[in-house]
Amino acid sequence: MKQSPSILALSLGLGVAACSSSPPFESGEVRATDGTPISYDVRGRGRTTLVFVHCWSCNRAFWKEQVDAFADRYRVVSLDLPGHGASGHDREQWHIERYGDDVATVVHHLALHDVVLVGHSMGGPVSLAAAKLLRGRVKAVVAVDTLHDMTAPMPKELVASYAELMRADFPGTMRSAVETMFGENRGSEVCEWTVQEALKADPRVAVALFYDFPNLDLARLFREAGVPVRAINAKSKGAPPTNVAANKQLGDYDVIFVPGVGHFLQLERPGVVNAALSATLAELGV
């Protein structure tokens, strides 16, 4: 069967370079409401806290070009969602919306207020779900190449067919998909780093979450979040189109486009993405 990485790209898009030598201000672990360990890092100090939420089959290292770059102006938190990275993998059922509770658990544990949730790909809907649970604490959600069209559900049949490809050959399917999402930067050093990190993902968790994508009601999540949503999305050949008009009908929404990049734009063009994030935060008044 011919693989169709664009289906995976669609699911992942549900839309000043850092100094990597800077140590985290704090590393810690907190238990989710079901007891699953959640690992996190905290950097910097500031009135506003940026909480970075990674994408499907990734981990908090995918924000390595952002966390230190913003720690001079903000408190910065990055975490591994359960089933990813250093967090626990023992949860029996895996649901994307459920991750909102995990993010909320970290926010409450750290006693954070004036929070902006920054979510890449799957991290976008997760951030919306968390914002609903954190009313009064979250100022906005910034979606990075995600929430492209919050009125359009993902077709279950297409998801199921791709999930079966992952079951049959998880490493090969993942590599093909990630490389395709880099477009013209396929084969670059950052592309290979991303592939190697994605190959560390737990296949059981990855497939379960993949099946859950069509169950997301993004329009409902946006309305229930009750906060402005700002997007920083890729705009290039093969990138999912952003339905700006439809999204604006749902609530306070706007988008900045970054041309010539793939899905992992925060890694491919960190300086450009960080400038866009800075401008977005300024526009939001945070």
- 4-37 pLDDT tens trace: 333 344 444 443 333 444 544 899 999 999 999 9
CATH number of the domain within which 168 lies: 3.40.50.1820
Q: What are the Cα distances from residue 17, in Å, to 57, 116, 207, 271?
A: 24, 20, 33, 5
Q: Write down the pLDDT at residue 172.
A: 97
| Amino acid type, 133 | L
Rounded to two decimals, the pTM is 0.91
Domain that holds residue 107: 5-284
DSSP classification of residue 94: -
Inter-helix orientation angle 5-12/156-168, to 10°: 110
List all residues 6 or more positions away from 28 whose beta carbon is below 8 Å from its beta carbon.
39, 40, 42
Number of domains in the chain: 1
What gap in Å lies between CA 8 and CA 14, rounded to an integer?
Answer: 10
Residue-wise pLDDT for 30-59, tens only, equals 999 999 999 999 999 899 999 999 999 999
